[in-house]
Amino acid sequence: MKKFKYLMMSGVVAMLYACGSDSDGGSGSIAGGDGTEQHGLVVIDESKSLIKPYLQKSVEGCFMSGLDFSWKTIDVGVSQMTFKYEFVGDTLVLHSGKAFTEYGAMYVGGTNGNLNGTWQSTLCTYNNDEEETTCYKLCSEVKASILKKYDVTSEDELDAADYEEFEEEYEKKRAKNPCVDEDDVTDVTIKISGDDITMIEKPRETEEKEFTDYMNSEYIADLYEAIYNGDRNAPSIYDLTDEDSASVKKYRKRAEIEEKNRTTTSLTFVVDEETQVSVTVNKINLDRENDKYEIGMTVASGKRTCELNYMSGRVNKGDCDSDNLGKFDDPEKIVTEDGTVYKQVSYMEDSNMDDFDVCVEKILRNLAGSSSAGPEVDPYCTSVKASYKSCVNEYMDYYDASRSEAESYCEELYDVDYYCGDGLAKTAASTTKLSKNKFKQLQRAHINALEMLLQ
């Protein structure tokens, strides 16, 4: 729902960090909520090679009582875990459960034969049965090795033919030697001193070049595509930070749009001799460290001006105040072991996005009525295109799939080229309108598929 607001971690490499967390409760946050840190006691049974941490589970955040808000840490109980341990040289291997399992997570940094010290997780596992070590590469490294032959640093710089070839080679390498995405990696640090233990988890930070050429974004591409097809749906502002220069060029040419005064944050373009549209990014702040996102944007045409003011993000200590009551999401209930119930607010938003989208849709409606650009649009084209795009985005988010995989899946549900033409010739024999009943069936298939993915 709020793309900037939710950063989801998948369980692809959970086996590497089985010792890192307890799913039954929260823990104190560190680095502005960008990780967790738990403290407690540890029992070590050297005769059985067992290590048993007893960790205090706590939740730090903004809690409400009536209309009062306060920042505090709530203890919610103690978690107990048991691991089998062994040393392979200077590496500590932790196996889940009281018996050796086939694979164990490998930690480095301490001393051979001595649990005391600081141990850091790796991307390696140890097979106890075969006495073999397997280490995983980061998928970004695999991609970089393939991109070298194209003399580019990002897959976004590839044209359609090269991108298809790149995707095919990348999938082959992943099938042969599995890799892990940075967004799926949690770095775990274990500190042991006598009977004291501290366990720190922190998501791996992905190093990405910040995209700032907003006039070559997917938002502009979708705006041009809407003008070309005569669509009335406003593009999603969440696409403003996604690069899509190839589609910008494609639909600019198809819709015969003339651009003027282009910069990275603003442009004016001419749809026909009498109609101009201007797009300006007034403010954009992507504070990923503190999980705060702000966008100020203007889209104008003729006498109509649409102003966007958007802010969302995690509730930090400075936000925990009744003055922000109207911006907070619904509170979450936190229940302690003694039954005490607390209400925590974790996210906030202040936005006029709905009004902004309605305003932009009025501009598009006027353009569709005055411009001759684009093919004749099927009555159901707008609905099909919107559902197809939603399907692609949600499939990528929930299933951690590539765009090509998502598009391939969604094309089976929504045949956009067929119902919208998209420049393809339609004959009376081949054109069949999509009935409302059929469209509802497609929507239900889409929803059912996503529900299956989430189970």
pLDDT in tens, 76-108: 889 888 999 999 999 999 998 777 777 899 999
CA 71, 331, 20 angle in degrees (round to 5)?
A: 70
Domain assignment present for 142: no
Residue 301 and residue 414 in one domain: no
User: Given this model, what pLDDT does residue 206 score?
Assistant: 62
More confident residue, 370 or 127: 127
User: Given this model, what pLDDT does residue 415 score?
Assistant: 73
Query: pLDDT tens-digit profile of 49-62?
Result: 999 999 988 888 99
Domain assignment present for 149: no
Q: Across residues 63-69, what is the average pLDDT?
A: 92
User: Given this model, what pLDDT does residue 218 score?
Assistant: 93
Note whether 198 and 190 are within 8 A (CB): yes
Per-residue pLDDT band at 292 (split at 50, 70, 90): confident
Residue 241 and residue 273 in one domain: yes
Residue 281 and residue 354 in one domain: yes
Quickly tell me which residue has 């033919």 as its tokens: 161
Q: Using alpha carbons only, how large is the chain's radius of gyration in Å? A: 26
Between CA 20 and CA 22 the distance in angstroms is 7
Domain assignment present for 69: yes
User: Given this model, what pLDDT does residue 101 score?
Assistant: 76
Beta bridge partners of 61: 72
Looking at 374, 390, 419, the residue that finishes a domain is 374
Residue 441 has pLDDT above 60, yes or no: no
Percent of the chain clearing pLDDT 70 (strictly above): 79
Residue 18 has pLDDT above 80, yes or no: no
Between CA 453 and CA 62 the distance in angstroms is 32
Per-residue pLDDT band at 446 (split at 50, 70, 90): low
Residue 329 and residue 423 in one domain: no
User: Given this model, what pLDDT does residue 395 score?
Assistant: 80
CA 290, 319, 332 angle in degrees (round to 5)?
A: 90
Q: Across residues 118-145, what is the average pLDDT?
A: 91
Between CA 50 and CA 398 the distance in angstroms is 37
Residue 123 and residue 233 in one domain: no
Query: pLDDT tens-digit profile of 393-408?
Result: 778 777 767 777 788 8
- Reduced to 3 states (helix: H, G, I; strand: E, B; else coil), residue 79 is strand
Looking at 187, 203, 219, the residue that finishes a domain is 203
User: Given this model, what pLDDT does residue 4 score?
Assistant: 33
Domain assignment present for 114: yes
Residue 320 and residue 446 in one domain: no
* Closest-CA residue to 355 (of 314, 394, 309, 315): 309
Between CA 313 and CA 293 the distance in angstroms is 6
If one counts the domains in the chain, the total is 3
Domain assignment present for 154: no
Domain assignment present for 151: no
Looking at 342, 374, 406, the residue that finishes a domain is 374
Per-residue pLDDT band at 130 (split at 50, 70, 90): confident
Domain assignment present for 339: yes
Residue 307 and residue 189 in one domain: no
Residue 293 and residue 220 in one domain: yes
Residue 382 and residue 409 in one domain: yes
Residue 186 and residue 248 in one domain: no
Which tokens hold the place of 312? 């969302």
Percent of the chain clearing pLDDT 90 (strictly above): 47
Q: Across residues 61-73, what is the average pLDDT?
A: 93
Residue 195 has pLDDT above 70, yes or no: yes
Residue 199 and residue 312 in one domain: no
Residue 215 and residue 311 in one domain: yes
User: Given this model, what pLDDT does residue 442 score?
Assistant: 52
SS3 content of the chain, % helix, strand, coil (to 5): 35, 35, 30
Note whether 29 and 282 are within 8 A (CB): no
Query: What is the domain range of residue 454?
Result: 376-455
User: Given this model, what pLDDT does residue 398 score?
Assistant: 72
* Closest-CA residue to 402 (of 147, 113, 166): 166
Per-residue pLDDT band at 322 (split at 50, 70, 90): very high
More confident residue, 382 or 185: 185
Q: How many Cα atoms within 13 Å fall on the side-chain side of residue 320? A: 18
Per-residue pLDDT band at 420 (split at 50, 70, 90): low
* Closest-CA residue to 298 (of 312, 284, 278): 278
Note whether 226 and 364 are within 8 A (CB): yes
Per the rule left: phi > 0, alpha: psi between -120 and 50, beta: everything else, 114 is beta
Per the prediction, the chain carries an average pLDDT of 80
Per the rule left: phi > 0, alpha: psi between -120 and 50, beta: everything else, 401 is beta
Number of other CB atoms surrounding residue 63 within 10 Å = 20
Residue 429 has pLDDT above 80, yes or no: no
Per-residue pLDDT band at 160 (split at 50, 70, 90): confident
User: Given this model, what pLDDT does residue 1 score?
Assistant: 30
Query: pLDDT tens-digit profile of 202-256?
Result: 888 766 667 899 999 999 999 999 999 888 889 999 899 888 898 999 999 999 9
Residue 433 has pLDDT above 50, yes or no: no
Domain assignment present for 435: yes
